[in-house]
């Protein structure tokens, strides 16, 4: 049985994990562009396909499993995806340091681990506190792209995201139909093949919300 990719020796995005303040992402990518973040990118099917489909986007994928983070970073370099960077880290630790308020055009959060055991529930990424931070980091009009295979977790995450101020254009608690134009994630491909349901939501931050800038970009890693 295969257990994922071999561990590549070079850490992914080490220059970013040590930063205390957000880098100048336009300088990192070598050009300005909408900055998008993926939390828990896993085997990277979505990140690689999305970066190819949207070459104008500057895409940052965070994944704490070294094997996956390093393999996706390697694939991005091999395929010439200069608009994709992978950061090998705990998203809870690095997101507050790497992104300035109102800097993100979109956040992708797909098939988060459900952490069934009660003792593991504190590992859930989308706490009210973290969701509040993500709301602050989204630019006015920014998109939150949520996907899950666990319906009740999906509803709970929708409640949390709506509670912190995101708007669901389809109505509170409503899931979004599948969009054939959107790339599927590695995990999603598995569910689509087996016919298991996938619950999607596309929430927006109001274009009218004003988020005071705090600090702004200051450091640019080599
Ligand atoms: C079920 S997988 C889904 C991966 C991918 N989004 C997909 O749809 O194929 C969840 C991923 O989130 C990652 N993850 C969970 N908590 C994380 C955290 N705090 N920081 C970074 N990655 C995390 C896991 O390692 C795993 O790769």
CATH number where 165 lies? 3.40.50.150
Domain count for the chain, please give it. 1
Residue from 144, 62, 125, 126 nearest 99 by CA: 62
CA atoms within 13 A on the CB side of 176: 18
Q: Does 216 have pLDDT greater than 60?
A: no
Per-residue model confidence as pLDDT tens digits over 113-123 = 988 888 888 88
**Looking at residue 2, what is its pLDDT?**
53
The whole-angstrom separation of Cα 110 and Cα 124 is 13
Q: Which two tokens stand for residue 192?
A: 């689509």
Q: Does 105 have pLDDT greater than 90?
A: yes
Pick the atom of ligand 1 nearest to 62's CA.
Answer: 21
Q: Name, in order, each residue with C-beta under 8 angstroms of 203's C-beta and a sequence gap of 6 or more.
A: 143, 144, 146, 158, 161, 162, 166, 167, 168, 169
174 three-class SS? coil
- pLDDT-above-70 percentage for the chain: 93
| 149-163 mean pLDDT | 96
Per-residue model confidence as pLDDT tens digits over 41-81 = 999 999 999 999 999 999 999 999 999 999 999 999 999 99
Is 221 contained in some domain?
no
Pick the atom of ligand 1 nearest to 188's CA.
Answer: 8
| 104-117 mean pLDDT | 93
In DSSP notation, 67-134 reads HHHHHHHHHHHHTT-TTEEEEES-HHHHHHHH--TT-EEEEEEES-----SGGGGGG-S--HHHHHHH
Residue from 31, 43, 108 nearest 75 by CA: 43
Task: Decide: 42 in ligand 1 pocket, CB within 6 A.
Answer: yes
Task: Tell me which residue range forms the domain holding 187.
Answer: 14-204
Per-residue model confidence as pLDDT tens digits over 2-18 = 577 899 999 999 999 99
**Looking at residue 123, what is its pLDDT?**
85
Is 54 contained in some domain?
yes
Task: Decide: 41 in ligand 1 pocket, CB within 6 A.
Answer: yes
Among 24, 90, 113, 145, the active-site one is: 113
When pLDDT is cut at 50, 70 and 90, the band that residue 213 belongs to is: low
Is 100 contained in some domain?
yes
Q: How far is the CA of 11 from the centre of ligand 1 (A)?
A: 17
Is 217 contained in some domain?
no
Take atom 4 of ligand 1 and give the residue whose Cα is closest: 42
Pairing type for strands 58-63 and 35-39 reads: parallel
Is 9 contained in some domain?
no
DSSP 31: S
Task: Decide: 186 in ligand 1 pocket, CB within 6 A.
Answer: yes
Q: Does 215 have pLDDT greater than 50?
A: no
Q: How far is the CA of 62 from the centre of ligand 1 (A)?
A: 8
Active site (annotated) includes residue 149: no
Is 222 contained in some domain?
no
Quick check: 62 and 37 in contact, CB under 8 A?
Answer: yes
Which of 3, 107, 113, 131, when mutated, tests ligand 1's pocket best, judged by the most ligand atoms within 8 Å of its CB?
113
Quick check: 103 and 139 in contact, CB under 8 A?
Answer: yes
Task: Decide: 168 in ligand 1 pocket, CB within 6 A.
Answer: no
Task: Decide: 17 in ligand 1 pocket, CB within 6 A.
Answer: no
Matching residue, tokens 């996907």: 147
Is 8 contained in some domain?
no
Is 171 contained in some domain?
yes
| Confidence (pTM) | 0.93
């Amino acid at each position: 049985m295969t257990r994922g990719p071999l561990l590549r020796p070079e850490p992914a995005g080490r220059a970013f994990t040590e930063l205390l303040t957000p880098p100048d992402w336009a300088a990192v990518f070598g050009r300005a562009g909408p900055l998008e973040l993926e939390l828990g990118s896993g085997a990277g099917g979505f990140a690689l396909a999305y970066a190819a489909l949207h070459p104008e986007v500057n895409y940052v994928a965070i994944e704490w499993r070294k094997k996956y983070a390093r393999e996706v970073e390697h694939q991005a370099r091999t395929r010439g995806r200069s608009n994709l960077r992978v950061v090998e880290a705990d998203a809870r630790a690095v997101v507050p340091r790497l992104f300035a308020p109102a800097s993100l055009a979109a956040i992708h959060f797909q098939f988060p681990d459900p952490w069934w055991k009660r003792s593991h529930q504190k590992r859930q990424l989308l706490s009210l506190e973290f969701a509040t931070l993500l709301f602050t980091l989204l630019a006015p009009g920014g998109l939150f792209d949520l996907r899950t295979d666990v319906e009740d977790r999906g509803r709970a995450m929708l409640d949390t995201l709506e509670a912190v101020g995101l708007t669901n254009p389809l109505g509170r608690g409503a899931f979004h139909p599948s969009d054939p134009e959107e790339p599927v994630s590695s995990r999603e491909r598995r569910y689509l093949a087996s016919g298991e349901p996938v619950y999607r939501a596309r929430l927006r931050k109001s274009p009218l919300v004003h988020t005071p800038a705090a600090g702004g970009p200051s450091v640019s890693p080599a």
